[in-house]
Amino acid sequence: MKIQFKIKYLVLLVTVFVASMFLNATAFAKNNVSNINIDVLIHNNGKATITEQWVGTFDEGTEVYIPIEDNSLIISNFRVSMNGREFLSVESWDVNETFENKSFRSGINKTSKGRELCFGISNYGSNTYTFSYDIDPLVKAYEDADGFNFMFLNPGMSIYPSNAVIRFRLDNNSIFSEDTARIWGFGFDGQTRFTEDGYAVAYTTSQLSGYNHMTVMMKIFKGVLAPNVNGEGTFEDLQNEAFEGSTYQETLEYIKRQEREDTLFNIITIAIIGFSLITTIVSIVSRVKRKHALKMFYESRNYFRDTPNNGNIAMSHALFHDFDIWNSRESNVIGAIIMKMINDKNIEPLQEKTYGLFGKEKTNTSLKVGPPPKDKVLKDLYDMIIVAAGDDGVLQENELKKYAEKNYTIFNNYLDSILIKGHNDLNVKDAYTKINGNKIVDLTDAGKEELGEVYGLRKFLDEFTLINERSVTEGVIWENLMVYATLFGVAKKVLSELKKVYPDRIAEINNYAETYYISDIYYRTLYYNSLNASRAAQALKMAKMAADGLGGATSIGGGGGFSGGGSGGGTR
């Protein structure tokens, strides 16, 4: 009995499993479209021929339909093909016909709202449908410009593509560019741009869903086309209506507020640049070979226990930047320069203790300006500190923050100038086999000697606690080498290990540590506030370009006042 019960139980489980698999297969047997490509050929008179290609899998329903709820448009020459087979156009379309009677047929269904472009699914499975039709007019003539605001894909469709691209071109030998047109996209997450071959393009960057639509507005400068139909009012009126509720409007309003109030708003921008697989592989292999050669060169270096490159920080920075195998921060050079100026008494730390509401002690550190440095790289940063400090000659952290936010361009140029000076100084020493480079083979013997000093010091700082004879470090001037430890990004590690090697010189090492922490605070304030302000300005510039119709991110909101389109569509 027990065996029979187990067999029955097993049969029941198998039945449930098979049934669930069947139900799941049925559930997932819905129609889906992976790609929609729309080509819009604009004729000189403002009429357009629209060709759409839908690629997907179709496993239920009888027809595909596209509502166009705009009776002011003349739709003609509706043609359909599937996988290369032409459909028969029927005079009157009946949505209630059977699957068989709709197969390889197409037609236009008139509704109370407008018209529907319809054609039979014809075969279940993976299909590519190509259909075209003429719209008259697409482009209208306005007083100030020609243009359109047209919905090409509707909200509320039963199927949405993973990717959709709309390409606009002209048939009168003109091209779309920043000199002839402007373009905006609404209702979808994507981008717009002008291509080198004269197209205007709008495309998705994420899959469309129920509330999404693809509405594109274009402004075409006078003289490019000669539309037969006049639009009401001006194109600016059309644009203003479309901009309502859009990120374009928000951008322009923000810019106006910024001009009035002289404020900055931090917008994070992620620029994603795609490379082909082959290029990526070649690049990776090249980087691996380069890094291996640099590591071999590093391993072959002897310890260097003095300031490298005759104390030329710009040169050391350029070498360490170009031949870095530790993924260090480029900005470390600012901390090194501040520390060098503190060591040389060009700036002097001042500390003041304050007490909060509950008696909590807090130490505020400021920098008092001293005599100027002679080195130009140091002097340029020193001059910025003087400006930021104001009349009292004492720099507070919040003063540097405000300076960085307002003068990020000056600071960014300064950061670039350090690298440029370093390269120039290396070229004077004939360090390169060509103008510059970042591979060992790009260096002459003189260049290898200079890099050897940088690598040798980095190696010494990495390994000095492992050296057997403690006496080898006795003659080292650690105050100077801490500048380079900061440049290399290993200052904290070196300070920790110094205390292990010299437990009897803790007070001296603590002085090094205090100088490092002060330089670190001020370098981070200057660098990161400049960086954030720079990113905000760049993001605002890109957003303004998009709002000005020069290409860029589309707007999910807005797009009102469109023609064409409607609601719904897909399959049924």
Q: What does the pLDDT read at residue 76?
A: 94
Average confidence (pLDDT) over 73-95:
94
Mean pLDDT of the 311-331 span:
88
Residue 58: helix, strand or coil by DSSP?
strand
pLDDT band at 247 (very low <50, low <70, confident <90, very high): confident
Cβ–Cβ < 8 Å for 447, 423: no
Strands (E), 474-557: 552-553
Q: Give me the pLDDT at residue 300, please.
A: 85
**Side chain identity at residue 10, one-letter code:** L
Neighbouring residues of 168: CB distance < 8 A, sequence distance ≥ 6: 40, 42, 176, 183, 199, 200, 201, 216, 218
Fold of 33-246+555-571: Immunoglobulin-like (2.60.40)
Q: In whole angstroms, how far apart are CA 251 and each of 213, 247, 414?
A: 21, 6, 30
Query: For the residues 265-292, what does the mean pLDDT come to?
Result: 49
Average pLDDT score over the chain: 82
In total, the chain counts a number of residues equal to 572
Q: pLDDT by residue (tens digit) across 506-528?
A: 888 888 888 888 888 887 888 77
Residue 53: per-residue pLDDT: 94
Residue 67: which residues within 8 A CB-CB, separation 6 or more? 111, 113, 114, 115, 116, 154, 565, 566, 567, 568, 569
Burial of 560 (0-12, 13-18, 19+ CB in 10 A): middle
Q: What local confidence, expressed as pLDDT, does residue 454 receive? A: 93
**What value, to the nearest 5°, has the Cα angle with vertex 203 and ends 201 and 208?**
155
Q: Would you call the peptide bond into 372 cis, given omega within 30 degrees of 0 as the criterion? A: no
DSSP codes of every residue in 181-243: EEEEEESSSEEEEE-TTS-EEEEESS---TT--EEEEEEE-TTS---SSBPSS-HHHHHHHHH
More confident residue, 347 or 328: 347
Determine the pLDDT at residue 137.
93
For residue 131, the model assigns a pLDDT of 95
- The better pLDDT of the pair 30, 417 is held by 417
Quote the distance between the C-alpha of residue 551 and its chain's center: 14
Any idea which of 19-33, 94-108, 468-482 has the lowest mean pLDDT?
19-33
Residue 22: pLDDT over 60? no
Domain ranges for the chain, please list them: 33-246+555-571, 304-347+373-389+397-530
CA atoms of 495 and 26, how far apart (whole Å) = 67
Task: Please provide residue 376's backbone torsions phi and psi, each rounded to the nearest 5 degrees.
Answer: -65, -40
562 — pLDDT class (breaks 50, 70, 90): confident
Summarize pLDDT for 372-408 with one digit per residue, the tens: 999 999 999 999 889 998 888 888 888 888 888 888 7
Angle at 337 between CA 350 and CA 440, to 5 degrees: 160
Query: Percent of the chain, pLDDT > 70?
Result: 81
Provide the 3-class DSSP secondary structure of residue 278: helix
Q: How far apart are alpha carbons 240 and 216 in whole angstroms?
A: 14
pTM over 0.85: no
What average pLDDT does the segment 42-48 reach?
95
Pairing assessment for the beta strands 48-58 and 85-86 based on DSSP bridges: unpaired
Mean pLDDT of 410-432: 89
> What dihedral angle (degrees, nearest 10) is formed by the CA atoms of 87, 89, 95, 96?
-80
Residue 479 has pLDDT above 90, yes or no: no
Residue 545's pLDDT band, with cuts at 50, 70 and 90, is low
Residue 117 confidence (pLDDT) above 90: yes
Q: How confident is the model at residue 476 (pLDDT cuts 50, 70, 90)?
A: low
Q: Provide mean pLDDT across the span 364-369.
A: 84
Q: pLDDT value at position 120?
A: 96
At residue 409 the predicted structure's pLDDT band, cuts being 50, 70 and 90, is: confident
Q: Structure tokens of 551?
A: 């290409």
pLDDT of amino acid 4: 47
Statement: residue 437 has pLDDT above 50: yes
Q: Residue 472: which pLDDT band, with cuts at 50, 70 and 90?
A: very low
Distance (Å, rounded) from C-alpha 515 to C-alpha 519? 6
pLDDT at residue number 531: 73
β partners of residue 348: 368
Give residue-wise pLDDT tens across range 198-238: 899 999 888 888 778 899 999 999 989 999 999 988 998 99
Of the listed ranges 45-49, 334-338, 458-462, 540-544, the one predicted with least confidence: 540-544
H helices present in 244-276, as ranges = 247-261
Pick from 549, 546, 540: nearest CA to 259 = 540
Residue 362, pLDDT score: 67
Spatial separation of the C-alpha atoms in residues 25 and 248, rounded to whole Å: 44
Measured in degrees and rounded to the nearest 5, phi and psi for residue 419 equal -65, -40
Which residues are CB-neighbours of 12 under 8 A, at least 6 positions away? none
Task: State CA 325 to chain mean position distance.
Answer: 26
CB 395 within 8 Å of CB 383: no
| pLDDT of 487 strictly over 50 | yes
Of residues 240 and 256, more confidence is placed in 240
* Reported confidence tier of residue 90, pLDDT bands at 50, 70, 90: very high
Which one is predicted more confidently, 92 or 263?
Answer: 92
Is the pLDDT assigned to residue 85 strictly greater than 70? yes
Angle at Cα 390 formed by Cα 387 and Cα 391, nearest 5°? 125
For residue 165, give the nearest of 148, 141, 188 by alpha carbon. 188
Number of helices and strands in the chain (H, E): 14, 21
